[in-house]
Structure 1
């Protein structure tokens, strides 16, 4: 096995043009980790936010920094304490964004971050899933505590998180889902399961007469107090803004009535990726991919991501042959051992 690998990253903050190719040693897995040969990696806004220096406190000058939290690929080596997976398994994982490393030919993942990939989609498609699907799942299930029969509004319904949120809300039994996006995305949003659509370029969403039990704001372009008037009694707003649910805002929300404000800070979870995998294989949800790029075009891909007009997700293909593969049935993988 080769000793070094190609990776794309940065060693200073700046525009997408600071991204460059590095030759780095292939990492070695600890006892509870696996080494993954990367087929493809999904692009998330956190990738370019870190690159711009928005979260420099978390990197603390650890350069070169290799972005990429969403990976799909093949396990090449497993630590000696790993029992769930073995060499040759096709897996996907969400890596913590502060560690990342997916813009590379190989990456390390902790065993509890990993799951077998859905059997019905390619590894390229699987790379578009982890962070955004887990964000939507944990927001709706854990923070909003969505129940069958609820009315739900998804703000940013055509984006990476929003496109999964529409489908997951439907899978969890929401009675009525309203998707908010630009008009050109109406067909997509309705195809994902939205019952109603609002074009924010033509309609002031805050002036609708509709009322909701849950509002999931994936854009955070409105405050809780703007959303509040659209909530039913005991309704809840969940925001992807990690600082929305601060002590002051939480106290003000409680004092203003029974409606609540919560934030979602996604957590890596192989267990939750198993839930997502089953839903994908059952045809309940699917990844939406705007377009794939080769890893060598990471600069162009990040520039497009920064435009904030991406439908669903962008994916960087690291290994074209591997990325095109679909795994055998996940249960067969286990039974074959």
Structure 2
């Protein structure tokens, strides 16, 4: 089979399309013929080995997982004798980041707990765009942010992969949602249901005297103190992504701020979760959430896909068609 192989840390140019042996499922695994995959920030970390702390999970000197790719959608080709949830022919999607990655390939073997049945009303490409980003948004809003109906929620970095899901999932919880993005992305946020949209190139949300119950920081380089100013008393800020300085501020200052005042600052470490993926599956089936795809690339174009993705301006998700 064909697969994208990464044998050393570096730029997207180190990625190679190679012919390798097709895997066989063990008694507890599912063999999936991959139709589509997608890019997430974790793919860049796996490629570059940065920040350096990530190497303790991904390999200190070289990548422990030679085939990148977390999100997939495809069709079950075979199952091991102990597999209970799926059978050959099932259309599935899932996040492989917790079980060895390997999605940028024509076939992959995975434990059944990483997968869910693909909703019939979306394409393989839309399904592949969903798992990691949507579950990250869900866990940030529900698990860390404790979102409640009627709350005022702000999503900073609302037009990217996680952000577009966060806007829609927050709306499904009954929140009043404000999305922050650049000028070119305003229409996208209106189209997915944001109640209010702020163009950060023209307006500083921390100075408009609006205050929020929950802020999700998906991207950007605002200081933690700026986010704190925009929170209501007892409000929460959840850091999901952004600059390294912002990450370390949330990591170091967050616990102190949370202990000494009513406002809460926290970091989210997303974890692949089948139950959460099935929750998102129901939102997809009912039309409450729709994946937004920016660009599509072939498997042979993965290097170009990474170069585009790392620019940080994708509107929604970047998808690989296999």
TM above 0.5:
yes
1:24 paired to 2:20: yes
User: What is the aligned length?
Assistant: 312
The aligned counterpart of 1:322 is none
Aligned residue for 1:25, secondary structure, equals coil
Aligned 8 A contact 1:93 1:109 in 2: no
Question: Aligned pair in 2 of structure 1 residues 98, 181: CA closer, same or farther (>3 Å)?
Answer: farther
Aligned 8 A contact 2:3 2:106 in 1: yes
Question: Aligned pair in 2 of structure 1 residues 17, 229: CA closer, same or farther (>3 Å)?
Answer: same
The aligned counterpart of 1:289 is 293
Question: Aligned pair in 2 of structure 1 residues 280, 143: CA closer, same or farther (>3 Å)?
Answer: same
The aligned counterpart of 2:58 is 59
Aligned residue for 1:57, secondary structure, equals helix
Instruction: Give the superposition deviation at 1:94.
Output: 0.5
Partner Cα separation in structure 2 for residue 9 and residue 48 of structure 1: 14
Aligned 8 A contact 2:178 2:195 in 1: yes
Unpaired segments ≥5 residues, structure 2: 242-246
Aligned 8 A contact 2:134 2:162 in 1: yes
Partner Cα separation in structure 2 for residue 258 and residue 53 of structure 1: 37
Aligned residue for 1:136, secondary structure, equals helix
The aligned counterpart of 2:228 is 228
Instruction: Give the superposition deviation at 1:220.
Output: 4.9
The farther-off stretch of 57-66 and 155-164 is: 57-66
Aligned residue for 2:20, secondary structure, equals strand
1:214 paired to 2:250: no
The aligned counterpart of 2:244 is none
1:299 paired to 2:298: no
Partner Cα separation in structure 2 for residue 34 and residue 193 of structure 1: 37
Question: Aligned pair in 2 of structure 1 residues 97, 18: CA closer, same or farther (>3 Å)?
Answer: farther
Aligned 8 A contact 1:245 1:261 in 2: yes
The aligned counterpart of 2:197 is 197
Instruction: Give the superposition deviation at 1:32.
Output: 2.4
Aligned residue for 1:296, secondary structure, equals helix
Instruction: Give the superposition deviation at 1:74.
Output: 0.7
The root-mean-square deviation of aligned C-alpha atoms, in Å, is: 1.6
Aligned 8 A contact 2:99 2:110 in 1: no
Partner Cα separation in structure 2 for residue 245 and residue 277 of structure 1: 31
The aligned counterpart of 2:115 is 114
Matches within 5 A, 1:117-196: 117-174=118-175, 176-196=176-196
Aligned 8 A contact 1:220 1:239 in 2: no
Unpaired segments ≥5 residues, structure 1: 319-337
Instruction: Give the superposition deviation at 1:221.
Output: 1.7
Q: 2:29 aligns with which of 26, 33, 43?
A: 33
Aligned 8 A contact 1:244 1:262 in 2: no
Instruction: Give the superposition deviation at 1:245.
Output: 5.3
Q: For residues 156-195 of structure 1, give each alpha carbon's deviation from its aligned partner in whole angstroms, at most 9, with x where no partner exists.
A: 1100000000000000110x21100001111110111111
Q: For residues 191-240 of structure 1, give each alpha carbon's deviation from its aligned partner in whole angstroms, at most 9, with x where no partner exists.
A: 11111111111112221211000000001522322211111111000111
Partner Cα separation in structure 2 for residue 226 and residue 163 of structure 1: 23
